[in-house]
Amino acid sequence: MRDRSFDSSRDSRGVLLPLGVLILAGILGNLVARAMGLIVPGGVLHDLLISGFRFGIDPPWTLNLAVLSLSLGFTLNLTFPGALAMILFLLLYKKA
């Protein structure tokens, strides 16, 4: 009988695939939001589509060692349609 307590290929796929799906869904949702923002005239709906939340490290952290400089930073800009797309894709992924 095979020990299934640790399978490295299954563990890495189990984390990376949903993370990739979430990132892709966020990108697609933000692109749809930008396209719809061009179509919808100004107002509350336009503001809901275009405005988003910014999370992250801004400005990036920098470590300067004279010979080597290291920077660490990221920014996540999430719009309402992007968040909805992420939730929808995650629910579809869980069903599959």
Tell me which residue range forms the domain holding 82: 12-95
Task: Give residue-wise pLDDT tens across range 41-80.
Answer: 888 888 878 888 888 888 889 999 989 999 999 888 888 8
Bridge partner list, 54: 77
| Domain-embedded: residue 1 | no
| Domain-embedded: residue 50 | yes
| Domain-embedded: residue 23 | yes
| Domain-embedded: residue 48 | yes
Q: What is the pTM of this model?
A: 0.65
| Domain-embedded: residue 3 | no
Within 10 angstroms of residue 89's Cβ, the number of other Cβ atoms is: 19
**Number of structural domains found in the chain:** 1
| Domain-embedded: residue 35 | yes
Alpha carbon distance 93, 68 (integer Å) = 42
Residue of 31, 30, 50 lying closest to 40 (CA atoms): 50
